[in-house]
Amino acid sequence: MTSTRVEPQPSALAGGASGSVRRRRAYRQERNGPFFWVGIVILALIFVIPLLWMFLTSFRTVEDSRRIPISLIPDQLTLRAYKLLFADEQNPVFTWALNSLMAAVGHAVLVLVVASMAAFALARMKFPGQKVIFGIIIATMFVPGFIFLMPNYLMMDRLGWLDTLIALIVPGAAGAFGVFFLRQFFLAIPRELEESARVDGANSWQIFTRIILPISKPGLVTLGVLAFLGNWNDFIWPIFVLFSPERLTLPAGLSTLQGAYNIDYPVIMAGASVAAIPVLILYVFVQRYVIEGVATSGLKG
């Protein structure tokens, strides 16, 4: 799997995850004692139980979710919460899910297109002003995002993008992370590949689309998933730029739901499950990429 390996970023992980480490031979790992196993089991429970509880509660009746003392085993399972949720015109969960999906896919695609083009120029070409441009891009990564909240809100107002999905798709694509991430990937591609294509008469666009992009698929998938997840889960921006009930995304809708169904935990947990299940499923499939993406370039937090 060497091809999926991203070069560790010098600033973030200097001296960190370099080289491939083969575990085996010599120095024997210590045996895992009973304390270790107890620790691991407790750890696993701490991470699994809350999520299981969320799913389980979403199939309970209101009375069951508010019983004292708590009944761990539900007396009956019902789809009531989901039925209520999908029929509620004030809180159109299905529309929210669709909005979330469109925004997240749109955002991920835009990030991939724009960032890969910029990263290609920065990684594979030499031109005047290159260092300055790259410097500016990197510098923007160190500015806290909240200072853009107010000015970008005003910007959305001027552009007429308030209360639209475009407001969720476009501004975030200006983030530097994608460019930085893909540039690292593109830098690792051997020069000979490109030179031979040039000799064969390929122009820059052809080199970009036929050589660079296809061999960078793992990097593109990783970035695409991270961009999708980031957008799907974004909370602070959507709750302020979206107002109409039918325009909300799932995270923004969840806070409305919490207000509307104050005491009806099954409905709120059903809403949370609807928001959680797609990303958990996606995560199961691309887990390796996500973890690797974070590990090698964990600059997002």
Partner 1 sequence: MSATATTARTKVDPAVDRPAGRLRVHAWFTPYLFLLPYLALLTTFVLVPAVFGIWVSLHDWDFMLPNKPFIGLQNYVDLFTPDSVTFPEFWNGMKATAIFTVASVPFLVLIPLGIALMLNRVFPARSLLRAMIFAPFVLGIAVVGVLFRYLLDSQFGLINWFLGLFGIPPVGWTQTQPWAWVALVGMTVWWTLGFNAVIYLAGLQGIPRDQYEAAAIDGAGSFARFINVTLPGLRNILVFIITTTVLASANMFGQAYLVTNGGPGDSTRTAIMVMTQEGLRAFKMGSATAMSYLLAICLAVVSVINFMVLREREGGK
**Which of the residues 112 through 141 are near partner 1 (CB under 8 A)?**
113-115, 117-118, 120-122, 125, 127, 130, 133, 136-137, 140
Cβ pair 193, 69 in contact under 8 A: no
Name which position in 184, 208, 219, 224 contacts partner 1 (CB under 8 A): 208
Contact between 295 and partner 1 by CB under 8 A: the answer reads yes
Residue list 72-91, contact with partner 1 (CB under 8 A): none
Per-residue binding string, partner 1, 216-245, x by CB under 8 A, is: -------------x--xxxxx---x-----
Could you tell me if 103 and 233 are in contact, meaning their C-beta atoms sit under 8 angstroms apart?
Answer: no
Region of 160 (left: φ > 0; alpha: ψ -120 to 50; beta: rest) is: left
With tokens 């969320």, the residue in question is 54
Name which of residues 160 to 179 contact partner 1 (CB under 8 A).
170-171, 173-174, 176, 179
How much of the chain is helix, strand and coil, in % rounded to 5?
70, 0, 30
Taking the least distance from each CB to partner 1, the nearer of 84 and 299 is 299
* CB burial of residue 260 (10 Å; 0-12, 13-18, 19+): middle
Does position 13 interact with partner 1 (CB under 8 A)? The reply is yes
CB 89 to partner 1: min, Å: 21
Q: Is 66 an interacting residue with respect to partner 1 (CB under 8 A)?
A: yes
Quick one: DSSP state of residue 245? G
Of 31 and 89, the one with the shorter C-beta distance to partner 1 is 31
